[in-house]
Amino acid sequence: MDELDILKRDWKKQEATLPKISYDDIYKMIHKKSSSIVKWILIISIAELLFWTGLNLLIPDSYLEIYEKFNLKTFLLATQFIHYIIVIVFIYFFYKNYKAICVSENTNLLMKKIIKTRKTVNYYVYYNIIVYVLLSIILNIVMFSNPETLIEALNPGNLNIDGDKFLNIMLIVQVVTLIVMLGLLCLYYRIIYGIFLRRLSKNYKELASLEH
């Protein structure tokens, strides 16, 4: 007899030894909460969407006054308007992709859809980082090309300070903040991927490598 037939025969024999869960226990089970990765991805993604959108609202009005001195207020309001439209588009796609996830689909397609949903959120985060960096660069170029206005805006009390030194410090602080923020983001994504998506990506790659 073939070894695999022996295995198959033994596999069938085990049917008799399988546990039998009672009606009541099944009833209890279906009233418990799922802890599937899709659910976790949804929670984390909503938190991220809220975080990045909320970050925008945290900018105090006094900042806008400073920018007004550089005639940048209209520019900023316009970018903010465009930004909110883009946020809505992202949320729409995220919702659409999330809704398309269906557990009774084949394994390959299910994994593809989960990855696609998660990627939508990643693109949203990348978009935010790019906008943040681009805006910082634009604002800095405008402000630093008008150093007198800048010192006046940031030092309304007209304290006696060294202008060049002040501008250098300001630039360094900004660069350091940017690097620290990007570092924290990288760390965050490594953790999220490690926890939720490493196994999924590995399995997905295994299937993909078969198809090519």
Partner 1 sequence: MNKELEHKFISEFQENQNIVHKVCRIYTSDQESHNDLFQEITIQLWNAYPKFRGDSKLSTWMYRIGLNTAITLYRKSKRSVPTQDFDTVLHKIEATDYDNTEDEQLKLMYKAIHQLSDIDKALIFLYLEDKNYSEISETIGISEVNARVKMNRIKTRLKTILNP
The answer to whether 6 contacts partner 1 (rule: CB under 8 A) is yes
Q: Which amino acid is at 36?
A: S
Start-to-end CA distance of the chain, whole Å, equals 36
The answer to whether 148 contacts partner 1 (rule: CB under 8 A) is no
Task: In angstroms, give the least distance from the CB of 33 to partner 1.
Answer: 8
Query: Which stretch in 75-83, 105-113, 118-126, 137-145 sits in contact with partner 1 by CB under 8 A?
Result: 105-113
Residue 90, Cβ density class (10 Å: 0-12 exposed, 13-18 middle, ≥19 buried):
buried
The answer to whether 5 contacts partner 1 (rule: CB under 8 A) is no
Contact (Cβ atoms closer than 8 angstroms) between residue 208 and residue 200: no
Q: How many C-beta atoms lie closer than 10 Å to residue 121's C-beta?
A: 24
Binding mask 39-68 for partner 1 (x = CB under 8 A): -x----------------------------
Task: In angstroms, give the least distance from the CB of 18 to partner 1.
Answer: 4
Sorted by sequence, the CB contacts under 8 Å of residue 125 that are 6+ apart come out as: 48, 52, 185
Using CA atoms, how far apart are residues 141 and 136, in angstroms rounded to an integer? 8
Q: Which of 38, 91, 151, 153 binds partner 1 (CB under 8 A)?
A: 38
Task: In angstroms, give the least distance from the CB of 127 to partner 1.
Answer: 27
Q: What is the DSSP letter of 16?
A: G
Query: Which stretch in 26-34, 120-128, 140-148, 165-173 sits in contact with partner 1 by CB under 8 A?
Result: 26-34
Task: In angstroms, give the least distance from the CB of 199 to partner 1.
Answer: 7
Q: Which of 8, 96, 99, 190 binds partner 1 (CB under 8 A)?
A: 8
Using CA atoms, how far apart are residues 124 and 24, in angstroms rounded to an integer? 45
Q: What three-state secondary structure class fits 52?
A: helix
Q: Which of 85, 103, 141, 159 binds partner 1 (CB under 8 A)?
A: 103
Using CA atoms, how far apart are residues 39 and 34, in angstroms rounded to an integer? 8
Applying CB under 8 A, the residues found at the interface with partner 1 are: 3-4, 6-8, 10-11, 14-15, 18-23, 26-27, 29-30, 32-38, 40, 102-111, 114, 195-196, 199-200, 202-203, 206-207, 210-211
